[in-house]
Amino acid sequence: MLYFSYANGSVEMGKGPLLIIGGGEDKGEESEILGRFVELVSQHGHDPRVGVVTTASTEGDAVFTVYSRAFHRLGVQWVEPLNLNHRRSASDPDLCCRLESLAGIFFGGGDQLRITSMLGGSHFHRKLLARHGQGLVVAGTSAGASMMSLTMIVEGDARESPTKNTVKMATGMGLWTGAVIDQHFSQRGRIGRLLSAVAQNPEILGVGLDENTAIEVCLEESTLRVWGEATVTVIDGRQIEETNASESEDNQPLALTGVTLHVLPRGYGMDLHTRRPFLVSNTL
């Protein structure tokens, strides 16, 4: 079992699945990814409750309406907004207690720094980690995907060759401590900034998620599996042989040798302990 140390001590975590989505997911009745989220929360019993966090967006009401309708179409009867738009609300005991009744929580897209700056280290954050350790299903798309990791990509220039300044990072929400996550990956050409992130943090796994593509991460079993229509790019820096990440000038091109890269479509998974991909069946 994993433990995450934050301001007020260690919280047991790792029991609930994480569904991490690269953005642009299908929201119709045939949505494989959102449908998988509904399947996971339905394992908690009849008529599970789902909460939607729209903190990443400045248009939270509109985002909630979109996902509320999508989840209702997929058979969820109870969908409720978690209005966490400033740090005061993240410390509201009544709002935080609503996590107890939820089977799953979904973080929408927008700006991941809004999530961490408003929720990081708060009572809600600690409660979220504790509930995840008790089995709460946590899903997030786009910014809601990036915030899952402990080391979080905030921004970066995808148009230039990678340098150590290609990417800016901050502390994420720490639901998955062993990774750094990027989204809209192939569509926005973000491999350079993920390589830069891994060069600076070679012990963690770099994960790039294409749009309408997701990974289901089970930390207890130390596995991930791929869902959706495109691919997941996984960068393993543990075998890096040479890099100039620490010595190079700010805008000097990054040197990186010996890095391991995998491209995984639907039907593939990965053992997170050995970091070896494997072929799976995504039929349940």
Whether 240 is covered by a domain: the verdict is yes
Please identify which residue in the block is written with the tokens 């786009």: 142
Q: Which of 142, 146, 149, 196 is catalytic?
A: 142
Least confident of 27-36, 148-157, 161-170: 161-170
Other Cβ atoms less than 10 A from the Cβ of 68: the count is: 16
Across 24-150, where does the E strand assignment appear? 49-53, 78-82, 104-107, 137-141
Q: Is the predicted pLDDT of residue 10 greater than 60, yes or no?
A: no
Tokens in use for 235? 């960068």
* 14 confidence band (pLDDT: 50, 70, 90): low
- What is the spatial distance between Cα 224 and Cα 202, in angstroms, rounded to a whole number? 19
Query: What are the CA-CA distances from residue 75 to residues 27, 102, 174 (Å)?
Result: 13, 16, 30
pTM for the model: 0.91
Q: In this predicted model, which residue has the larger pLDDT, 29 or 9?
A: 29
Q: In the annotation, is 57 catalytic?
A: no
Q: How many domains does the chain have?
A: 1
pLDDT, tens digit, for every residue of 81-91? Answer: 998 988 999 99
Contact assessment for residue 169 and residue 151, using Cβ atoms and an 8 Å cutoff: yes
**Catalytic (active site) residue 142:** yes
Residue 284 placed within a domain: no
Mean pLDDT within 167-196: 93
Is pLDDT above 60 for 282? no
Range with the lowest mean pLDDT among 113-117, 254-258, 265-269? Answer: 254-258
Query: Can you give the residue range of the structural domain that contains 254?
Result: 2-279
- Residue 259 above 90 pLDDT? yes
Pick the catalytic residue from 160, 220, 221, 249.
160
CA geometry: angle 258, 182, 50, nearest 5 deg: 140
